[in-house]
């Protein structure tokens, strides 16, 4: 694999080698994956979209799920089917389409430890070739007292009953002990023993509040590894889930892997509730760059000695940057420039000393190169003379599978852009398609025209023509305030929370990409809007209108159930 070659003395961790002889699962055998790899469980479609304003519609989730399968993840947590009818349908479509493609991931659905949730989850994921039910209940005393209002004995009985129900439906069952890192270790061990006895095949240790430190995580996992039957024999896989409230989630996960964990639950770009989840790209690249070190820790002498080219995960590294951009566009969550692995500055060198050393030998100031994760400069791909076949083929290469209606809309936008922009790059195409996917559904408001006058000594004025689809009436006023004034007459009351502008590509004719986040005061819910245009003002107004359409489409939709904040 192309990359930066780094040779140095490996530092011993001083911890014992932990080789987990995991028995091949049906999924491993069918897909030819190394059973001793670190399994990548992606929860971007479930936990990731719990970021305020990051909710995705069914089409967006399906598009992302297809790309995650190409990326090579092992388990795709498609959603929480009991949350709403919309989430159920999204999970079911992913199970049907992504769960049956060649070399598919396991399709997983989340369920609280209740019969209703578990049965609903099974109904959604059943069409997949390799389905998994992921059920959970809290085990920390603070959760038992204040959220569940149950005794330890009652929780243990629930685990036995509900895991047994899940196993009667599905051969692959994961059990999570919510807030495990703040639980009494002895009670945690007993909860896991009950789950294994009832049929759980994966045990997950969540750091729900992002509270633990790496050394504590190692000790906690070793305790579970040594005190719960089935893990050391390879019959049960030990997993970890965590949040980044103290900025230690990836470090915690690596410590957990050293202690015997062989499944990590992550999100692309680290998105998720509060400070987010452990980042897929950071953890995967840590295992890649420090492959020899972790191979020794895992007892994989064949890899550490160079006898095997086997990687420690199944991830296709060159798909990482593309997947990151897709998640950012679909969710409206902008990637910070200094974000490890996928940030805009991740492979840039500003200091003269650094540049001098890098030009002489890249390994002086870089431990990996941009091309390893597919972050090389976008190639010029299409122009205004390109036809529909070339357009469709290039989108397919970028991971977008569109139906005829979606393709027609995207092709119109492509031609409009090609008339104004000489060279169309892959990033431009991704922006075009992401914007189109976001606005699938009824458009209550449609932007017809925007005109702005401004200057250093003049008062900025704007004229906006907005078509209100219910009446077909054109109403014109000025700027965002004008748009607000118009939509308020039709029952919307929104507050602009966030507005960001970025350049999709370089050059004077670059597309301006705008993401906005608004709060619907009536429902107290947050929605995002996205648009791209060579005119940043047009993109700004369109993004705002797109966010308003999302608000309008969800006016009569019940608030989705949150798996952790809603009692069963």
Report the sign of the C-alpha dihedral through residues 146, 150, 153, 158, in that order: negative
In 33-96, which ranges are E strands? 39-42, 75-79
Dist. CA 186–CA 327, nearest whole Å:
39
User: Which alpha helices (H) appear in 207-317, and where do they start and end?
Assistant: 214-227, 249-259, 280-289, 291-297, 301-304
Count how many Cα atoms sit within 13 Å of the Cα of residue 308 in the half-sphere of its side chain. Answer: 13
- Splitting the chain (568 residues) into consecutive groups of 10 residues, what average pLDDT does each group show? 51 75 95 96 94 85 96 98 94 98 98 98 98 98 96 98 98 98 98 98 98 97 97 96 98 97 98 96 97 93 90 97 91 88 80 52 78 71 78 82 85 84 76 66 70 73 69 50 70 84 68 84 84 80 85 75 68
DSSP code, position 557: S
Per-residue confidence (pLDDT) for residue 351, from 0 to 100: 47
Q: Which helix (H) or strand (E) holds 534?
A: none
Distance CA 358, CA 247 (A): 29
Query: What is the pLDDT, as a whole number, of residue 501?
Result: 81
131-138 vs 106-112, strand pairing mode = parallel
Which residues are within 8 A (CB) of 344 and not within 5 positions of it... i.e. 6 or more apart?
A: 335, 337
Using CA atoms of 403, 404, 406, 412 in order, give the dihedral in degrees to the nearest 10: 150
Q: How far is the C-alpha of 202 from the C-alpha of 230, rounded, in Å?
A: 10
The C-alpha atoms of residue 538 and residue 417 are separated, in whole angstroms, by: 13
Q: Quote the CA–CA distance of 464 and 147 in Å, as a whole number.
A: 49
Taking the mean position of all CA atoms in its chain, how far away is CA 406? 23
Q: Tokens in use for 138? A: 């809290």
Identify the sign of the CA torsion 286, 290, 292, 297.
Answer: negative
Secondary structure of 468-505 in HEC code, one letter for each residue: ECCCCEEEEECHHHHHHHHHHCCCCCEEEEEEEEEECC
Confidence (pLDDT) at 360: 64
CB 198 within 8 A of CB 190: no
Catalogue all structural domains in the chain, each as residue range(s) with its CATH number. Answer: 34-331 (3.20.20.70), 352-435 (no CATH), 445-554 (3.30.160.270)
pLDDT at 406: 84
Backbone angles phi, psi at 278, to 5 degrees: -60, 140
Q: How far apart are CA 145 and CA 163, in angstroms?
A: 22
H/E segment holding residue 322: helix 320-331
Specify the pLDDT at position 477.
44
CA distance 402 to 419: 23
Distances in whole angstroms, Cα of residue 405 to Cα of each of 304, 395, 462, 510: 51, 15, 33, 27
pLDDT in the model for residue 476: 40
Q: Where are the alpha helices (DSSP H) in 398-441?
A: 404-420, 426-438
How far apart (Å, rounded) are the C-alpha atoms in residues 531 and 446?
Answer: 13
């Amino acid at each position: 694999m192309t990359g930066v070659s780094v040779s140095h003395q490996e530092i011993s961790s001083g911890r014992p080698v932990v080789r987990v002889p995991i028995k091949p699962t049906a999924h491993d055998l069918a897909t030819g994956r190394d059973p001793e790899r670190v399994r990548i469980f992606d929860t971007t479609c479930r936990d990731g979209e719990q970021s305020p304003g990051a909710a995705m519609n069914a089409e967006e989730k399906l598009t992302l799920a297809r790309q995650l399968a190409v990326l090579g993840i092992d388990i795709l947590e498609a959603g929480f089917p009991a949350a709403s009818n919309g989430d159920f349908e999204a999970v079911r479509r992913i199970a049907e389409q992504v769960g049956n493609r060649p070399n598919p991931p396991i399709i997983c659905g989340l369920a609280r430890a209740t019969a209703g949730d578990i049965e609903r989850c099974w109904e959604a994921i059943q069409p997949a070739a390799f389905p998994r039910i992921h059920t959970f209940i809290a085990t920390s005393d603070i959760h038992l007292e204040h959220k569940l209002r149950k005794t330890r004995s009652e929780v243990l009985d629930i685990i036995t009953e509900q895991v047994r129900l899940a196993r009667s439906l599905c051969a692959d069952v994961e059990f999570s002990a919510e807030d495990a890192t703040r639980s009494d270790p002895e009670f945690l061990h007993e909860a896991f023993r009950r789950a294994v006895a009832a049929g759980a095949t994966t045990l997950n240790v969540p750091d729900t509040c992002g509270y633990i430190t790496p050394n504590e995580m190692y000790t906690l996992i070793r305790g579970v590894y040594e005190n719960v039957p089935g893990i050391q024999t390879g019959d049960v896989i030990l997993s970890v889930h965590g949040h980044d409230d103290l900025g230690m989630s990836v470090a915690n996960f690596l410590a957990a892997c050293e202690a015997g964990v062989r499944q990590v639950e992550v999100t692309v770009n680290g998105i998720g509730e509060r400070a987010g989840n452990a980042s897929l790209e950071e953890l995967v690249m840590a295992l890649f760059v420090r492959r020899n070190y972790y191979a020794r820790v895992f007892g994989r002498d064949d890899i550490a000695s160079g006898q095997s080219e086997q990687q420690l995960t199944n991830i296709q590294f060159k798909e990482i940057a593309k997947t990151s951009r897709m998640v950012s566009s679909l969710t409206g969550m902008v990637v910070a420039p200094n974000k490890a692995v996928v940030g805009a500055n991740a492979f840039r060198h500003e200091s003269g000393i650094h540049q001098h050393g890098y030009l002489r030998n890249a390994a002086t100031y870089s431990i990996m190169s941009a091309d390893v994760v597919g972050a090389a400069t976008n190639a010029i791909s299409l122009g205004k003379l390109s036809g529909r076949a070339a357009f469709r083929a290039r989108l397919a290469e970028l991971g977008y599978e569109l139906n005829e209606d979606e393709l027609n809309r995207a092709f119109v936008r492509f031609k409009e852009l090609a008339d104004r922009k000489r060279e169309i790059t892959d990033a431009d195409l991704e922006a075009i398609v992401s914007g189109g996917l976001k606005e699938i559904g009824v458009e209550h408001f449609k932007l017809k025209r925007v005109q702005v006058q401004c200057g250093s000594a003049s008062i900025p004025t704007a004229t906006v023509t907005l078509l209100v689809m219910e009446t077909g009436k054109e109403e014109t006023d000025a700027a965002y305030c004008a748009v607000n004034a118009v939509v308020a007459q039709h029952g919307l009351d929104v507050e602009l929370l966030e507005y960001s502008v970025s350049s999709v590509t370089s050059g004077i004719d670059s597309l301006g990409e705008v993401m906005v986040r608004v709060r619907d005061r009536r429902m107290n819910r947050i929605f995002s809007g996205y648009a791209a245009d060579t005119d940043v003002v047009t993109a700004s107004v369109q993004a705002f209108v797109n966010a308003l359409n999302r608000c309008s489409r969800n006016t009569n939709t019940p608030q989705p159930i949150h798996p952790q904040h809603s009692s069963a």
